[in-house]
């Protein structure tokens, strides 16, 4: 592709998981110049995480469902002109010029004369290298942005959760898919959400003994939404596949239960599993020990949206108490020229992420070409591909909301905590100190607790402890989900910031 060095890309996509890949290849096939940035060295994101080539895995697809969807996207990426920039950690983006941001979130992309929304361009700042250690600052300009940064795991603390051998449920899956290793030989899988079933069946299929899947919620809540179930038969089929795998491997599923303590000196030796009431409060006298050498635990996923909230994008409260980006019918955020797809708008799985990515890619191409994305509704023509994608997205989102509500943490979970339990593991702040900040010092929200105790000030910037601190600070009623506005989405060396005004490497189409 020829272009003068100062010419921006039409589109920069952040995140090369299911959503970002679909958005990038769709936009490229529709004629846009596209840069696709991802901090990982391979495409595929969390769902299609696969072994590094050096491991020589013969059949990486054996660890995945629906591998053909990914291989199709990967083939199209290879055949396209997309600049796939691996190992690029995006720490910020800034809108350099343009108007008021008025068209964002309004629905149908407008006929805008073939430029980016309001003629703006974006500058994306990234650093390269593993964890930014061999960093090289890179700057990319683009007329439109698609944010597809996925989600991270939500953790609720309990006594012993910092012992070696306790790993995230998604983390255990990631170790298996990318490193072909298991976190232990006898692994309890616990927490809440459908990911637990997928993780347990993968671990068992890879040779681990999984004595139990411990699910804090019940599954009956799904039955309260028969329409969402009936219109998403693929989800029911997926659950049946996992259920059959668990039966085959003799894995017990314990609903309405939680791991309330981990035992061991140097590493995990056993866990206590307690029955929960409807609020997730442990029922006294129900604790029983299960021997294991690892615990894979996660309480759902949290949309990773810091890059968007830093530029003022509106959010919406999701049924499980997390925040996702508020999006238009065509996946545009409330900030014009910035679109989002996949888990950034709410957790819903790889199929939904692909659908939203393609929809966003088509809407962006239409906007930049000055056309309407979906001419069908008001021109009386048969719905085209965009209409089909919108309907599919709505159907899958409805199911995602049901799933999110079914696994929302109950208000009783803080009863799992002892005063000595570390809540913020980066800064080693205990539950007792957080409670003291609330009851003795009058803190009412996570931010005040942070100022008084340092909880959330460490390396992970509250990704691990944010939910727990917000719940403890709320005292009565549901906690306010923290709408984080951080200038940096990933750690950035001071030297990179100091050199911002100096000439830097600019990646161009």
- Residues lying near ligand FAD in the complex (CB under 6 A) are found at 14-20, 37-40, 45-47, 88-90, 148-153, 170-171, 173-174, 195, 198, 301, 304, 342-343, 349-350, 353, 489-490
d(CA 79, CA 25): 9
Name residues whose C-beta falls within 8 Å of residue 308's C-beta, 6 or more positions apart in sequence.
147, 325, 333, 335, 338, 340, 344
Task: Give the residues across from 167 on adjacent strands.
Answer: 296
CB of 440 to ligand FAD, least distance (A): 36
Q: Min. distance of Cβ 159 from ligand FAD in angstroms?
A: 24
Query: Which one, 17 or 183, has the nearer CB to ligand FAD?
Result: 17
What are the distances in angstroms from CA 39 to CA 86, 156, 168, 407? Answer: 6, 26, 20, 29
Q: Please, what is the minimum distance in Å from the beta carbon of residue 149 to ligand FAD?
A: 4
Q: What is the DSSP letter of 290?
A: E
CB of 20 to ligand FAD, least distance (A): 5
276 vs 340 by CB, closer to ligand FAD? 340
Name the residue nearer to ligand FAD (CB basis): 146 or 468: 146
51/377 with CB nearer ligand FAD: 51
Pick the closer one to ligand FAD by CB: 137 or 159: 137
Output the smallest distance, CB 161 to ligand FAD, in A: 17
Minimal distance in Å, beta carbon 199 to ligand FAD?
Answer: 6
Backbone angles phi, psi at 426, to 5 degrees: -65, -45
For the bound state, the minimum distance from the C-beta of residue 188 to ligand FAD, rounded and expressed in Å, comes to 17
Rounded Cα–Cα distance for residues 461 and 149 (Å): 17
Q: For the stretch 183-195, what's the b/e string if a residue is b when 16 or more beta carbons lie within 10 angstroms of its beta carbon?
A: bbeebbbbbbbbb
Shortest Å distance, C-beta 245 to ligand FAD: 13
Residue 304 sits at the vertex; the CA angle it makes with 303 and 309, to the nearest 5 degrees, is: 105
- Cβ distance to ligand FAD smaller for residue 45 or 160: 45
Q: Which is nearer to ligand FAD, 125 or 433 (CB)?
A: 125
**Cα 500 to chain centroid, rounded:** 29
DSSP assignment of 132-156, as one string? GTT--EEEEEEEEEEE---EEE---
How many angstroms separate the CA atoms of 256 and 157, rounded? 17
| Cβ at position 464, least distance to ligand FAD in Å | 13
- Closer to ligand FAD by Cβ: residue 197 or 276: 197
CB atoms within 10 A of CB 271: 29
Residues with Cβ within 8 Å of residue 322, at least 6 apart in sequence? 154, 300, 301, 302, 303, 347, 404, 467, 481
Choice between 45 and 282, CB closer to ligand FAD: 45
């Amino acid at each position: 592709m020829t272009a003068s060095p100062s010419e921006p890309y039409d589109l920069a996509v952040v995140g090369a998981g299911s959503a970002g890949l679909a958005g990038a290849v769709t936009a490229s096939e529709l004629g846009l110049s596209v840069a696709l940035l991802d901090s990982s060295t391979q495409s595929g994101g969390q769902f299609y995480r696969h072994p590094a080539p050096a491991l020589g895995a013969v059949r990486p697809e054996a660890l995945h469902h629906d591998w053909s969807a990914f291989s199709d996207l990967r083939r199209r990426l290879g055949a396209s002109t997309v600049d796939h920039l691996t190992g690029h950690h995006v720490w910020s983006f800034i809108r350099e010029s343009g108007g008021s941001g008025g068209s964002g979130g309004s629905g149908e992309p407008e006929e805008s004369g073939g430029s980016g929304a309001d003629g703006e361009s974006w500058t994306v700042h990234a650093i390269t290298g593993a964890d930014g250690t061999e960093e090289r600052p890179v700057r990319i300009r683009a007329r439109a942005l698609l944010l597809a940064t996925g989600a991270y795991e939500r953790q609720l603390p309990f006594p012993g959760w910092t012992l070696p051998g306790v790993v995230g449920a998604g983390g255990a899956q990631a170790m298996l898919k990318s490193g072909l290793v298991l976190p232990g030989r006898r692994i309890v899988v616990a927490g809440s959400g459908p990911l637990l079933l997928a993780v347990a069946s993968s671990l068992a299929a890879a040779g681990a003994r999984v004595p139990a899947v411990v699910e804090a919620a019940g599954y009956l809540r799904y039955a309260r939404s028969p329409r969402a179930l009936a219109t998403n038969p693929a989800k029911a089929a997926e659950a049946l596949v996992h259920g059959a795998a668990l039966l085959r491997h003799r894995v017990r599923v314990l609903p309405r239960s939680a791991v309330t303590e981990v035992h061991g000196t140097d590493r995990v030796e056993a866990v206590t599993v307690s029955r929960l009431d409807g609020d997730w409060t442990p029922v006294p006298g129900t604790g029983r020990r299960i021997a294991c050498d690892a615990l894979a635990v996660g309480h759902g996923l949290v949309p990773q949206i810091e890059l968007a909230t830093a530029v003022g994008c509106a959010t919406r409260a999701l049924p499980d108490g997390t925040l996702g980006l508020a999006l238009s019918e065509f996946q545009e955020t409330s900030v014009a020229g910035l679109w989002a797809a996949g888990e950034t708008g709410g957790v819903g799985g790889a199929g939904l992420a692909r659908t939203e990515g393609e929809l966003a890619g088509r809407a962006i191409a239409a906007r930049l070409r000055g056309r309407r994305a979906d001419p069908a509704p008001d021109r009386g023509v048969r719905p085209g591909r965009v209409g089909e994608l919108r309907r599919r997205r709505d159907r899958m989102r409805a199911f995602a909301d049901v799933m999110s509500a079914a696994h929302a943490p109950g208000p009783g979970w803080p009863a799992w905590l002892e005063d000595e339990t570390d809540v913020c593991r980066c800064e080693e702040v205990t539950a007792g100190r957080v409670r003291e900040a609330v009851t003795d010092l009058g803190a009412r929200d996570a931010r005040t607790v942070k100022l008084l105790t340092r909880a959330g000030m460490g390396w992970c910037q509250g990704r691990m402890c944010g939910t727990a601190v917000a719940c403890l600070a709320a005292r009565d009623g549901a906690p306010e989900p923290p709408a984080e506005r951080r200038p940096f989405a990933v750690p950035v060396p001071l030297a990179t910031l100091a050199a911002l005004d100096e000439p830097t490497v600019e990646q161009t189409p």
